[in-house]
Amino acid sequence: MVLTIAAAVFVFGLLVLVHELGHFATAKMTGMRVDEFAIGFGPKLVSFQRGETVYSIRAIPLGGFNDIAGMDPEQNDAGSRGYCEKPVSSRMIVILAGSIMNFILPLFLFFGIFFFAGVSTPSPEPVLGTVLAGKPAAEAGLKDGDRVLAIDGTPMATWSDFVGGVKDSAGEPVNLTVERGGETFTATVTPTYDSSTQRAMVGVMGSVNTRYPGFVESAQLAVQKTGAILYMMVDALYKIILELSGAELAGPIGVAQMAGEVAQMGFVPLLNFAAFLSLNLGIVNLFPIPALDGGHFLTLCVEAVRGKPLSPTALRYTQNVGIILLLLLMLLATKNDIVRVIFGG
């Protein structure tokens, strides 16, 4: 539980910090007055003021905000430095900057992973790379680096042999012949059914072969991986919209649970997860839904075409519609989270 909370705070905190930093930096660059830069919601835990801006960390680490003067034209007390008084182009830059930063962050994370941790490719050997705590393999006493020689007497020559020997044994104990440090012993493991992969698992990952690319290659690989994930995400979202299915949606509970599970594998997998989630956040924030950055950008496009902003009443209605849509999505995601946690579905 402690690891899950720590991993969730780290991932949410990093993503929100980078996102809000994009809005903050561009607001300052375009001459807007920023009254507060906050990470989290709720009561202030820590705060200090530098110049005209208060910087704070708040109790609930599930978001953050920039208090930019003049976001509400009827309450602008910053004059020409208010958001509403700036050119449309400046406001567009500020609105888009958060998502752009979420697209940039994975480039740095992936570069750091490739350059410092190397590029890992799966080893074909039946050797346990990572044994997850609390899973059947760990409970049976297996450790990282153990080589599986046989399952119920059947020799295991490759990792694929091992996976195939386990996948259809949910709830049924299997006897593993294991080699560790030149010694051979037998361990009995009872695989459990994993609904996400639809097969039995014992909670292990295969070993990997690692090489260390140079600076330039690491940068190239970071760009390639970011592009590939973006393409995959857009394609998946397109299919979800076509099928009108929200079964794959996950809310804060689900994301926190996943962060805790990934953190058990190590810090590098957690950074990979943060990069993946950052791209997801960047895409979702660009949806043309009022109350999201994409919705704000859409209203600015309308203003640019009309030559004048929408009326305060129209803005208020669109914001209310956006908030209702977001609440409905959050309820659906939370329902999915509860189903996964309680029923494993």
Catalytic residue numbers, as ranges: 20
Cα torsion through 70, 71, 74, 75, rounded to 10: -50
In residues, how long is the chain? 345
d(CA 59, CA 45): 6
Enumerate long-range contacts of 177-185, CB under 8 Å, 24 or more apart. Answer: 177/148, 177/149, 177/150, 177/151, 177/153, 178/142, 178/146, 178/147, 178/148, 178/149, 179/146, 179/147, 179/149, 180/143, 180/145, 180/146, 180/147, 184/149
Strand pairing category for 204-206 and 128-131: antiparallel
For 276, the token pair is: 């993946």
Q: Cβ distance 88 to 5 under 8 Å?
A: no
For 225, the token pair is: 């991986």
Contacts of 1 (CB under 8 A, 6+ apart): 260
